[in-house]
Amino acid sequence: YLGTDGVYYTKEDGVFLFQPETEAISMLAEGSMTDIYSYSTIQDKCIYSKDGKMMVFIAGKEEGSSTEGDRLYYKENYDGAKPVLITEDASGFTWVNDECLVYFSNSSLYYYDFYKATLLAENVRDYMINEDGTKLIYAMSTDDYSENYPYYLMDFEDLTRSETIGYSSYGEFICSDDFSEILYIEEGTLYLFKDLEEKTMIASNITQCYMQKGDEGNTIYYLANGDEVVSAYDFVKDIYLESDQKIIEKPVEGEDDYFERMEEYDKKVSRDLLREQLKDYTYDYLERTLFSYKDGKTTVISENVTEYLTGWYYRAYEEKRNVPCIYIRLEEEVPTIIFDGS
């Protein structure tokens, strides 16, 4: 694999790095390794500290290992240095600063200072570190399968204490690089938490949100549902409604055309049941509006939005801002459904 700092390759006895500038070959890890292409990207698995003195990398499982994660190593950047095992069961890591990192193992989050590992929290589903490496925000899974996940703030100066800063629905929890702005949706309401002190409600009845980061401040985009509630039956052309309303009583055995009338009555009962089910199936988000929010000002971007997707582009070792991708389809025609009772 061609990485930014050289060529990574595997052999039977380990994973190696060839650096073209110095023609140096370094063994990153020994032993039977998983295929190098089973990694998501090698840049995400092998990262130098900012001062360049230390390298941390994930290097696959031992043959026959039953662990969920891979082995995590560090290696000091000098001739003759050998990799040192941190844990045999890691699924990810992030540098805090040049002297410590956090890593993920079996849904638990650990702090490691190259002397010992400290458990920070269990049942963690996501975490973020601010750009100066002083604070950590992490989300925890709940035992009751709740859609609102609690988020906690921890200062790396005190690893024994954390505080709840909010609950987020469906994992919608977005932070600026310095944690000066935190955006999250709780029970359909969008909140902005500024400087870890002031919480502002921006809007309610929200389904999605996104933060575009910029040099002149961050811009928030969010999608709000309309107030109108409609049912699936509102989109149905019920061609049997008028005739079914005339069928009031159940036929009595022995009457003329009993079997034919009973068959029509049964069909009518079946259609009535389906009508009630369609009426119970309601929607409250057909007419959605896309807004932007910046510096306390809300602006309507577009009404009648039927699709809103966000994404971002990222290239390893290259500084790039997140770029929002917004797809809008206007004046959508609502299809007419012919209700034939089936």
pLDDT per residue as tens digits for the range 159-205: 999 999 888 876 568 888 889 999 888 888 899 998 888 889 999 88
Give me the tens of pLDDT residue by residue for the chain, a chain 342 residues long.
555 566 666 665 666 677 767 777 777 665 444 443 333 334 445 677 888 788 888 776 666 666 666 788 888 878 788 888 898 888 888 889 889 999 988 889 999 999 999 999 999 988 889 988 999 999 888 766 566 788 999 999 999 999 998 888 765 688 888 899 998 888 888 999 988 888 899 998 887 787 877 778 888 888 887 777 778 787 777 888 898 999 988 988 888 888 888 999 998 998 888 888 888 887 665 567 888 898 889 988 777 665 443 333 222 222 333 333 333 333 344 334 443 433
What's the rounded Cα separation, in Å, for the pair 204 and 190?
6
The label of the residue with tokens 């954390």 reads 162
Whole-prediction pTM value?
A: 0.62
State residue 285's pLDDT score: 55
What's the rounded Cα separation, in Å, for the pair 342 and 305?
32
What's the rounded Cα separation, in Å, for the pair 194 and 134?
17
What's the rounded Cα separation, in Å, for the pair 18 and 5?
9
| Residues 6 or more apart whose Cβ sits within 8 Å of residue 253 | none
Task: Please check whether residue 129 is in contact with residue 94, taking contact to mean a CB–CB distance below 8 angstroms.
Answer: yes
Q: Which pLDDT tens digit goes with each residue over 210-224?
A: 787 777 888 888 888
